[in-house]
A and B are shown apart, each in its own frame.
Chain A
Amino acid sequence: MSATEGPAAGAPAAGAPAAGAPAAGARAGDEWSVALLAVARGRDRRAFAALFAHFAPRVKAFMMRAGMAPAAAEEIAQEAMLAVWRKAELFDAARASAATWIFAIARNLRIDAARREGRANACLDHDGDGLLTPDPAPMGDALLLCAEREGAVRAALAALPEEQAAIIRLSFFEEQPHGQIARQLHIPLGTVKSRVRLAVARLRKALEERP
């Protein structure tokens, strides 16, 4: 595996500055993280099948919601789950939940797919290498958040006013988020931007309050 390929590889994991010290002692967090650890430690196929049953349809839904055709979305979901199997050792339950980690894998595959598509349209000659090039945003970033902080972020997210939560939700699904969101919701672009700022400020506050 290349140094830049995996979720933790390439990220300044050991001795990373700031972002708070990771929680002492791995805490499994939730049943999906437990299953993922079973895959990592024992190559547990039943655990993998359970993860597949839960996450593959959600990754597929995410891709379709982002505008992908069902067949392509299914392929990406397959790819994502194979990546889960292959990279499971890099998962650290003390730092992120399985849901966050698998989201990061799916997101990166979506970026690769969008780039392959962009290149095909431009008739350029590098097709097929999207998965092979270093990821400019190592998924390791997802791992810098310890499980306790993740709980605080989830609580802050659940407490967001619906108008802000809606914008954050759409930001994850639309390719050109803010212009499209403004048109969809019939609100000015400035309003979209200020709601993003307000929502992110609340998440930031949640991080600061639970060091």
Chain B
Amino acid sequence: MSPTPSPNPNPSPTMPPRHHPGEELLLAHAAGTLGAGPGLIVAVHLEACGACRALVAALEVAGGVMMAELPPVPMSSLALERALAAIERPGAVAVAVTGAGAVTGAVAAPKVPAGLELPLALRGRDVGPWRWLAPGMRWSRVAVPEAPRANVVLMRGRPDRLLPAHGHRGSEFTQVLCGAIYDGDVRYGPGDMFVADDATHHHLRVADEGECLCIAAIEGRMRMSGLIGRIVQPLVGP
């Protein structure tokens, strides 16, 4: 993985995203109450979307106001003394990024389409090898060591391929990194994010314009239908 950060996961952002996380999701993100998996997907969307970044920044202002308006709870009598002592200790404050569970860098960074930079939010995360999902469709797991139960995957599809029809028990949060995907007539292009919940049973098809790469956080289990679905089910279950 390249050590040079690039602020934009989309190499040619000709159009701003058209499908955004809902207000509730952005508010939960700003409040810090969103789960690690969906939070990662929203973070990837924010990298690609200035409008949502501005809105989250506004919601963070709201957070600061809400915190400031709470009746303050006095700290213990020695709290300031402790803090002043702590800032004098050399190295006492800086925390080294070492030890169990620290992110170790990609073990097997998946091959991504030429020209695509993985989003900053994914840099330094372990990404597993590509695995078969369906004809022309592959997936790989993105490690979320800070929340091991989070289920985050990259999905890659060749043009015009279908993802097996599936429903959900829980929600699935998807961000398109490159290429485009259709759910019925609705097109999701680079930078777009969409959420599927219990009520959704969708038929996703990769647009014929090129390879598509998405990142998705899956909460609960997907319910696959059809023969391929039953074969694939054990692979993508959490």
**Contact surface of A with B, Cβ cutoff 8 Å:** 1-5, 10, 12, 15-20, 45, 48-49, 52-53, 56-62, 64-65, 70, 73-74, 77-78, 81-82, 85-86, 96-97, 99-104, 106-108, 110-112, 115, 118-119, 122, 124-134, 136-138, 141-145, 149-150, 153-154, 157, 168-169, 171-178, 193, 196-197, 200-201, 203-204, 206-207
- CB within 8 A of A200: which of B26, B74, B146? B26
Tell me whether A126 and B100 are in contact in the complex, defined as CB-CB below 8 angstroms, given that A57-B73, A196-B23, A207-B58 are known contacts: yes
> Contact at A136–B32, with CB atoms within 8 Å?
no
Q: Is the CB of A201 within 8 A of B100?
A: no
Pair B24/A86 contact, Cβ less than 8 Å: no
A2 B79 Cβ-Cβ under 8 A: no
Binding site secondary structure of chain A: helix
Q: Known contacts A82-B93, A129-B145: does B23 contact A103 (CB below 8 Å)?
A: no
Check B36 against A136 for contact (C-beta < 8 Å). yes
A119 to chain B, nearest CB (A): 7
Contact A86 B33 (CB under 8 A): no
Whether the Cβ atoms of A60 and B31 lie closer than 8 Å is: no
Asked if B76 is an interface residue, CB under 8 A from chain A, the answer is yes
A49 adjacent to B75 (CB under 8 Å): no
Question: Quick check: B7 and A15 within 8 Å, CB to CB?
Answer: yes
A45 contacts across to B, CB distance below 8 A: 84, 87
Out of A18, A49, A82, which one reaches B54, CB within 8 Å? A18
Please choose the segment from B44-52, B174-182, B204-212 that sits at the chain A interface, where 4 or more of its residues have CB less than 8 A away.
B44-52
Interface 1/0s, chain B 53-79, versus A by CB < 8 A?
111111111111111111111111001
